[in-house]
Amino acid sequence: MNKMAFVEDANSKDNINNNDFPYEIKFVDKEINEQLLKDFTGERTGFVQVGKEKWFFPSKFIEASTHFYNFNVRPDDTWIVTYPRSGTTWTQELVWMIANDLDYDTSAKIPLTDRFPFFEFSIFVHDETKKEFLSENAHDLEKVKMVHHVSSPVWEILDKIKTPRFIKTHLPFSLLPPTILTSGCKVIYVARNPKDVAVSFYHLNKLIRTQGYLGDFPKYWNYFQNSLHAWTPYWSHVKEGWNLRDHPNVQFLFYEEMNKNLHATLRKVSKFLSKSFDEQQIEKLSQHLIIDNFRNNASVNYDVLKDLGILNSGEQAFIRKGKNGGWSEEFTQELSEQADTWIAENLKDTDLRFPKL
């Protein structure tokens, strides 16, 4: 079956069959897709839903799915798995520093995007959007090369990277290579309260042109709550991570606890990665990671995307406030009550509980 035929026709009702990928892929309903394309202008073809959970992705997931699922995991890999805006970038720097024996010099010289590649970023760079980035940067050969670099399939880059590798992903466990749990590699999963996640992700969707969200927050929340947004359903994602919290090679963390007691988090992650540091080293790393220092760290704040025009000017920065409870910035009382009901409904049959602030 020709997968590209389905990419060209986002209104097709047929399933997208692929013998090398175990889940059914279908385009979303025609009318919903048309509205999504108006609100999320970075995608130009359409959106798909994957498997019985209906994991939500842009159209390029179709071609990439087998590369994700069949990726060759190495036993000395370190993966960070999160739903977006759960403290991912912060955790990346934290983990990389611990695993690399607090190598501040290399951390400062090499951008985090190169030290800790984003596994599936390329599927969010639609070919038409990429052409726009290339055209806007055509006057600068180095920027043209960088556009090609940041939009290249990361699985191809990772195959050429020497070990140990550090990999960031927002894919749920069920769409990752099954060997991620049997290879011996280390996986850190971070979860964050969905109200804070949604507010932070809303601002990122307005900031980054690969998403290009044009609507307001209530409309955004409606997409998020109804699993019509990238990497949703949120609850299925987090519950998959929670259910693996006792796996010997998985470290489950709550962003709220990381933020509240960073020293304890640093000691916990150090133990998980078989590293040991004294209190003076822990304190220095803590200062490196506190939000004001972190936000001003050029190595981690995605300056490369800003330089290429992939981040919209006039929007909040990629690294925002990083505080717990920031959701109150956007939620009205009515919307907050609606969200609380949704959260309670999804927690009632599980022992998963987010830490109280």
Q: What is the pLDDT of residues 238-251, one digit of tens each?
A: 999 999 999 999 99
Q: Which residue, 315, 261, 316, is CA-closest to 289?
A: 261
What is the Cα 137 distance to its own chain's centre? Answer: 26
For residue 290, what pLDDT is reported? Answer: 87
Q: What is the end-to-end Cα distance of the chain in Å, rounded?
A: 51
For residue 306, what pLDDT is reported? Answer: 84
Residues 327 and 223: beta-carbon distance below 8 Å:
no
- The two tokens of residue 69 are 């699922």
For residue 197, what pLDDT is reported? Answer: 95
Cα gap 282→262, rounded to integer Å? 9
Per-residue pLDDT of the chain (357 residues; tens, 9 = 90+): 333 333 444 554 456 766 689 999 999 999 999 999 999 999 999 999 999 999 999 999 999 999 999 999 999 999 999 999 999 999 999 999 999 999 999 999 999 999 999 999 999 999 999 999 999 999 999 999 999 999 999 999 999 999 999 999 999 999 999 999 999 999 999 999 999 999 999 999 999 999 999 999 999 999 999 999 999 999 999 999 999 999 999 999 999 999 999 999 999 999 999 999 999 999 999 999 987 777 676 777 667 888 899 998 765 554 445 555 566 778 999 999 999 999 999 999 999 999 986
Pairing of strands 55-58, 25-27: unpaired
Q: Which residue, 87, 114, 115, is CA-closest to 103?
A: 115
Cα gap 300→111, rounded to integer Å? 6
Neighbours of 308 (CB within 10 A): 21
Angle among Cα 342, 343, 345 to the nearest 5 degrees reads 65
> What is the chain's mean pLDDT, rounded?
90
For residue 15, what pLDDT is reported? Answer: 66
Maximum distance among all Cα pairs of the chain, rounded to whole angstroms: 60
How is residue 286 annotated by DSSP? H
DSSP state letters, 220-255: HHHHHHTT-STT--HHHHHHHHHTTTTSTTEEEEEH
Residues 194 and 340: beta-carbon distance below 8 Å:
no
Q: Which residue, 252, 224, 251, 255, is CA-closest to 321?
A: 255
For residue 5, what pLDDT is reported? Answer: 35
What contacts 250, CB < 8 A, 6 or more positions away?
181, 187, 188, 189, 241, 244
Cα gap 124→59, rounded to integer Å? 9
Domains in the chain, start-ordered, CATH in brackets?
72-122+148-226+233-347 (3.40.50.300)
Is the pTM value of this prediction over 0.85?
Answer: yes
